[in-house]
Structure 1
């Protein structure tokens, strides 16, 4: 499930010697196997690994950790999986108490806050030893998202964008081609109108983060708007572009294409039950739909409603936790683990993700994943939350505006204006708090 809303003790020379000895420079660009640190049979290293993969991706991460433990008897990984909200609450306390896990996965927008608080540690040596560079990645934003104040704190593992699921059976009932989902705003509205004529409300509009806010942010960017100004000192989501985006979504309810007061996840459940035709949701739902008996469905990029292509997305990134007494052997082992996991990114993508590395995106193995491939068509224009410290508090106000407008408690313009004023104060307070 995607999100709710800290110098290595190992010397550079020590690390570079180890990394080059394992062929690390080629690890993420080729097929070499990583090797565990050379330890005697009595000096096995145990790593703790925390993440929030409680959904369908949990089975995939468990399988990969089991494979790693079998392949590297000198390193054993013990994994704890928490709900993401619980994960982000537990991590700071664990670091402060000296009980921090060794490796974690965090979302891109959580990295700056945890770096600023000293919860995660820089990984520049790792990235340099592996030869990682921006051109290796399918998105420059996902690469830049692992940086904070010029230092690297995250190694990208995947991307998980919004996309459009379509129910082929429902489209067929309405006389629409089940193999040709709408791609433009005009095509989308025509399809919704035809569905409405058959008594079907085609797009259930959720007033919550999952996935109403993701839909709003996608359309904000499509209409040429931005969430904040370039320095993230002022909220700008109440711009004309923002009002147009939110009005379009609110009109889905007003014009009868969506029922009012859609409950959390009710849109996705209705899709599975054949009550609506389109569901803008995350790639993480792929495997859940595969498990629904008799459901005929497809996936496609979200339609281009505004003048330009854009879609919300986020990224899981590996991070190293700050330790009260850093152990060089554990640091070596943690880097071996991250390297090994990155080599197996295609297996991870089967859980409902798209690749961050160009070589993986171009591989026959990934191209055989049909539905993931549909989401990956959006890779050139995936947009991410601003990677600045404390951003989650400001983004929560976007959620508030979407909720109020979709539920009819305020007009789109009024809801956005009030929320943007509050968000501007939050980001200004954050600049003082974190010194950004």
Structure 2
């Protein structure tokens, strides 16, 4: 996938709350997701046309459209029309489109946006979909399944999980006298490798000050070091805890110790990996397919090294949602939507080829998935995913962590000061969100 992928994942953060600063978009019927047919296992009603919105503008978009075409071919009485927008435009556009009656029937949404759009009644509960399809937590990784809940109701049926992974340049490791097939797995091994690389004049771990992907590295390490970004009920930011300060300090120290240039530009860390200047890069699973397009690069990808007391990684997840309709739900359309959601979920092995970890366990256990070597490697991180809490507007709050991380890595402020000031702003925004969303 191209580098603009950073705009396609998590760009709801910082957009969702702003876009939703308006009256509730849908009706007040909590049963807006209820249909009148067979609950998603099959659809035998009159032909329905459904609009589906998504933000898959990269290579995954081609795969997604092919799957939709296949579904349409197999279902003569359901016609899915796909509309694709950049994620940042998508989340801004959706509320107004729904309130005016011009929204989609089905919407793909990141996990960290579900609570925001549920609170504004843009999307409908889908508990009945899960029940009719006999889907339970046992069918998914617990973290992914629970991420679709808001106020004890289900708003998302998970399709995938996309974590960060640990990419490494084999040529540079070999140049430093290291085993190119054994990337570091813990803090000691990583720091020893960085010393060996530095001895050969190689800056081995370029630390980006931006969310994509230095901030995601810092996010992962906060949890690895025993901290978290928020307290249990997401009423207070905790990303200035001693554990968080230690995690971000480790990232900032890469610059101070000469393992990273100062002021690394957006995507420069990844480009340096590809051009044999940077040995290690924490980046998203979506870069697997991009690297495969460059056979001249000697690279590998592994699970994120465990630098702290436990394993943890930044991750997000795409979920299917059913959109509220201001003039009430059409039962036949809702039933058709359920059939599509179930069908695509069952075909998520094909979706995995786009660089995503399937959410359903039966697909993860499919021998054909094992053949997707790199994606399968990062699938092992699924139990360690550190998803943000299901709180409306949480994306905007998490952005304040990324801003503080940026200030710390660029040396604009001491690490603790940057995180203290960011957490104070986050606490204020969390309070404002509780008032805004009535939670």
- TM-score class, shorter-chain normalisation, is over 0.9
1:32 corresponds in structure 2 to none
Cα separation, partners in 2 of 1:335 and 1:405, compared to 1, 3 Å: same
CA distance in 2, matches of 1:433, 1:45: 37
**Secondary structure of 2:227 counterpart:** coil
CA distance in 1, matches of 2:259, 2:316: 28
Q: Deviations over 1:354-394 (max 9, x none)?
A: 12222221111111111011101212211101111111121
CA distance in 2, matches of 1:155, 1:216: 29
2:208 corresponds in structure 1 to 206
After TM superposition, the structure 1 = structure 2 runs for residues 127-142 of structure 1, keeping only pairs within 5 Å, are 127-138=130-141, 140-142=142-144
Q: 1:311: how far off? A: 0.8
Cα separation, partners in 2 of 1:76 and 1:106, compared to 1, 3 Å: same
**Secondary structure of 1:414 counterpart:** helix
Cα separation, partners in 2 of 1:10 and 1:381, compared to 1, 3 Å: closer
Cα separation, partners in 2 of 1:56 and 1:11, compared to 1, 3 Å: closer
2:5 corresponds in structure 1 to none
For the 8 Å contact 1:224–1:308, the answer to whether it is kept is: yes
CA distance in 2, matches of 1:55, 1:291: 14
More divergent stretch after superposition (64-73 vs 252-261): 64-73
Confirm whether residue 419 of structure 1 aligns to residue 426 of structure 2.
no
1:263 corresponds in structure 2 to 265
2:49 corresponds in structure 1 to 46
2:365 corresponds in structure 1 to 362
1:27 corresponds in structure 2 to none
After TM superposition, the structure 1 = structure 2 runs for residues 86-165 of structure 1, keeping only pairs within 5 Å, are 86-138=89-141, 140-165=142-167
For the 8 Å contact 2:165–2:303, the answer to whether it is kept is: yes
1:372 corresponds in structure 2 to 375
Confirm whether residue 248 of structure 1 aligns to residue 246 of structure 2.
no
More divergent stretch after superposition (359-368 vs 247-256): 359-368
For the 8 Å contact 2:397–2:429, the answer to whether it is kept is: yes
User: Runs of 5+ in structure 1 lacking a partner?
Assistant: 25-34
CA distance in 2, matches of 1:63, 1:181: 36
1:385 corresponds in structure 2 to 388
CA distance in 1, matches of 2:311, 2:379: 13
User: Runs of 5+ in structure 2 lacking a partner?
Assistant: 1-7, 14-25
1:185 corresponds in structure 2 to 187
Confirm whether residue 219 of structure 1 aligns to residue 221 of structure 2.
yes
C-alpha RMSD of the superposition: 1.4
Confirm whether residue 353 of structure 1 aligns to residue 360 of structure 2.
no
Q: 1:197: how far off? A: 1.2
1:283 corresponds in structure 2 to 285
Confirm whether residue 300 of structure 1 aligns to residue 297 of structure 2.
no
2:84 corresponds in structure 1 to 81
Using the size of structure 2 for normalisation, the TM-score is 0.92
Q: 1:203: how far off? A: 0.9
Q: Deviations over 1:238-284 (max 9, x none)?
A: 00001000000000111110111111111111111111111100101
1:233 corresponds in structure 2 to 235
Q: 1:353: how far off? A: 1.0
CA distance in 2, matches of 1:11, 1:334: 11
For the 8 Å contact 2:33–2:322, the answer to whether it is kept is: no
Q: Aligned match of 2:174 in 172, 175, 181?
A: 172
CA distance in 2, matches of 1:161, 1:187: 22
CA distance in 2, matches of 1:187, 1:56: 35
CA distance in 2, matches of 1:175, 1:295: 18
CA distance in 1, matches of 2:100, 2:157: 25
Confirm whether residue 433 of structure 1 aligns to residue 428 of structure 2.
no
Q: 1:11: how far off? A: 5.3
Q: 1:9: how far off? A: 4.7
**Secondary structure of 1:159 counterpart:** strand
Cα separation, partners in 2 of 1:205 and 1:11, compared to 1, 3 Å: closer
For the 8 Å contact 1:56–1:288, the answer to whether it is kept is: no
CA distance in 2, matches of 1:217, 1:11: 38
1:321 corresponds in structure 2 to 323
Question: How many residues matched?
Answer: 415
Cα separation, partners in 2 of 1:11 and 1:79, compared to 1, 3 Å: closer
2:4 corresponds in structure 1 to none
Q: 1:38: how far off? A: 3.6
More divergent stretch after superposition (365-374 vs 418-427): 365-374
CA distance in 2, matches of 1:9, 1:388: 21
For the 8 Å contact 1:37–1:333, the answer to whether it is kept is: no
For the 8 Å contact 1:174–1:198, the answer to whether it is kept is: yes
2:402 corresponds in structure 1 to 399
For the 8 Å contact 2:289–2:355, the answer to whether it is kept is: yes
Q: 1:199: how far off? A: 1.4
Q: Which runs of 4+ in 1 moved over 2 A?
A: 6-12, 35-39
